[in-house]
Structure 1
């Protein structure tokens, strides 16, 4: 397309829809006259340590608030406490979808920032300037007198125009563009290393602003996805920024998951071969040969997540959440999970038969079972065929297409491993 320039400055206060405004705590009970009071939340840095949490050898109950999971909570001294927590018999569980969205989902978002991601920066204090020149969008973010800069590259389908904007998939690390463009979906990429180095170096646009904070690089890359979306909103009229997917593979799939979790504008989250700290389980991690664990991922790339997660090394079964909790917190927005049966590195089987069916129970309970999908394909780690495998679901979510592919089919992995989530027999009865 001919080169053109378009610039915009996005006023930070005019972005109320950003999940940078994740609630720090539930609303006061006085303001909820007809609703149950939310469980109390610890303040940042005051969360229970691993030794104050029961060892859970199965996936934690997604409906049980953290306050009733700690060993010093009511009933914590009971001989049956750990068993009750694991089997859906814990006290004060979430009972309704309304209570989930008002209390439990915000709690999970804050808990994950405390234990895994680090606390997301306050976007209301940022100013984003975006300038488009042809198929390049330059992005400049300023906060606290500091500025970070990086850019994104556009690939637009021929059918897109300001009068007929296309949905978009934002990716890092590359993907198979052409099938998406042919389907009428724009593809936008950015250099994640310009946002944050994949190391302890603390270089890149994010660290130019936020150096010194205990934030994982996955969260820094997620911030990059969000700032790209800001820029597309401001400068690319050919893109419909109300229909947005985010994707990446391996460690970049972990980042795409964080991006979808932490910004409610993301319509569809697409983590590919993501493994531990993505949608690979911390528990049941030995199902696909050589796989990631909390211990070897923290040892090899400790910078992906915050320091708090490192305190659970050797104690992963004391974590009060697992990958299914992360997935469930995205609902009711859409999630499609990619794994290859030839990928021994990221525990594809564990993601498929443990995490996916456990998360789908929550999606189903919330009334949106068709918004979560599992794509089990042949091939290995970050096989580009994964992008073709998930494409029908992408067209369903972003373009409202009717599809026939069965995304509950776990292929050679067979059936869900229901013994890993015993609370399935105690799903709350939603009204």
Structure 2
């Protein structure tokens, strides 16, 4: 490390130490949640308290969006101007006649040899103009169901069952079907749209050379670069762009869902794209719903060292400073308000720290209340399998890091309440 780097590191640590002292002396506005001091989501950077919905919308919300784009997620482009769609599969008798299956290639720059993603879409045949749930998947579209007509992903994959030389084989077909109970979702009247995460950005530190970032060189080599979680969130919005062109879908009623690291992306997509009227975060952990200030589970150091590509370069300056951060994830959840959001945990998922996820959701409650909604009714971490449901909903179930039928039953009930037309 050269002298300049040592000096910069010293100055950063000194400034963060002073920030901690200021927080301890109540100089910086705080909100107290379960005895933990958090930066107050309803206080502007200049110290002005937010007391009206208009102030939130015009002043505080834009301020927070700008902060998180600069310091954590990085900047993201808008809808690509040259995007085109190719529907290469349209089968009205899929899943035993229950659904219409469509597969669509999205060419982000309109070129068939350019960055692209494949959407797998199932639409219930007994519903006209169906609401939908969109989400990214971990192991390729073919992993969500044993349907042999689903196109095998050709994108790079990390090592998992059935992956050979970082490419999927037939052994990956249906391996994640338990996390995507398509028939249950379809029976409730919802379409399902999913895309493999690696189509948008492969999940390894490659200098952003193999994802959609290559289309936006101006957003790289800078502190607030277009990083992986932001790219995944951007991809979720691009799925919605297509659904807005499909007459079989009610594109005004599309929920965004994500599990684990993809839950981090779903929350950021919901925060930044207000077209999503409902957001579901399943065990999203650190950088998702979990509070950094709450001890236990993953923190900034693990995110910045093991997954340095997930967040922008500026985020690395906060490494190891979890307890004195000038921000936390309750602020990201608050950016979804007043739209409904469901945060869910699993008791044995210690990396995600289920209790810290609950308090992340609860700390967003003041914004939901300010905007005239019910917020999160629970005032303490709920018992196992006892959901607390308001405009913010939360449950913790037995078991570990996964998506189960129990989770989906709660999500679909929540969607019935808030997503479907009256």
TM-score if structure 1 supplies the norm length? 0.70
Task: Identify the residue that residue 107 of structure 2 maps to in structure 1.
Answer: 140
- Structure 2 unaligned segments of length 5 or more: list them: 1-10, 24-35, 91-101, 138-143, 145-179, 375-389
Confirm or deny: 8 A CA contact 2:136 2:196 kept in the other structure: yes
Q: Contact between 2:83 and 2:110, CA under 8 Å: does it hold in 1?
A: no
TM superposition shift of 1:203: 4.5
Residues 155/203 of structure 1: CA separation in 2 closer, same or farther (3 Å cut): farther
| Aligned pair partner of 1:355 in 353, 356, 360 | 360
Partner of 1:257: 267
Equivalent residue for 1:277?
287
- CA shift digits 1:355-374 (9 cap, x unpaired): 12211222112112242111
With over 3 angstroms needed to count, the CA separation of the structure-2 counterparts of 1:205 and 1:102, relative to structure 1, is same
Following superposition, the deviation at residue 147 of structure 1 comes to 4.4
- Matching residue of 1:131: 86
Match of 1:170 in 2: 134
Deviation at 1:389, TM superposition (A): 2.8
Question: 1:49, 1:279 → 2: CA distance?
Answer: 26
Contact 2:131 2:420 in 1 (8 A): yes
Q: Given the alignment, which residue of 393, 397, 406 partners 2:414?
A: 393
SS of 1:367's equivalent in the other structure is coil
Per-residue deviation, residues 328-356 of structure 1 (Å, max 9, x unmatched): 1111112111111121120001111x212
- Of residues 84, 96, 116, the one that matches 1:149 is 116
Question: Could you tell me the TM-score, scaled by structure 2's length?
Answer: 0.72
Whether 1:59 and 2:69 are equivalent positions in the alignment is no
Question: How far apart are the structure 2 equivalents of 1:221 and 1:103?
Answer: 27
What do residues 78-108 of structure 1 show as CA deviations (whole Å, max 9, x unaligned)?
xxxxxxxxxxxxx421121111111101111
Structure 1: runs of 5+ lacking an equivalent: 1-47, 69-90, 402-431
Pair 1:220–1:228, CA change in 2 (3 A): same
Matched, 1:195 2:200: yes
Cα distance change of structure 1 residues 204 and 368 upon mapping to structure 2, 3 Å threshold: farther
Per the alignment, residue 226 of structure 2 pairs with 215
For the aligned residue pairs, the C-alpha RMSD in angstroms reads 2.2
1:166–1:184 CA contact under 8 A, matched in 2: yes
Cα deviations by residue, 1:16-65 (Å, 9 ceiling, x for unpaired): xxxxxxxxxxxxxxxxxxxxxxxxxxxxxxxx967267224621101111
> Relative CO higher for 1 or 2, CA cutoff 8 Å, sep ≥ 6?
1
After TM superposition, the structure 1 = structure 2 runs for residues 38-49 of structure 1, keeping only pairs within 5 Å, are none
Residue 304 of structure 1 is matched in structure 2 by 310
- Residues 1:100 and 2:111 aligned together: no
Runs (4+) of structure 1 exceeding 4 A deviation are none
Q: Equivalents in 2 of 1:378, 1:126: separation in Å?
A: 46
Work out the CA distance in 2 between the residues paired with 1:253 and 1:139. 22
Q: Tell me the SS of whatever aligns to 1:281.
A: coil
1:159 aligns with 2:180: no
Question: CA separation in 1, counterparts of 2:183 and 2:72?
Answer: 35
Q: Evaluate the alpha carbon distance shift between residue 177 and residue 204 of structure 1 in structure 2; reply closer, same or farther with a 3 A threshold.
A: farther
Determine helix, strand or coil for the equivalent of 1:390.
helix
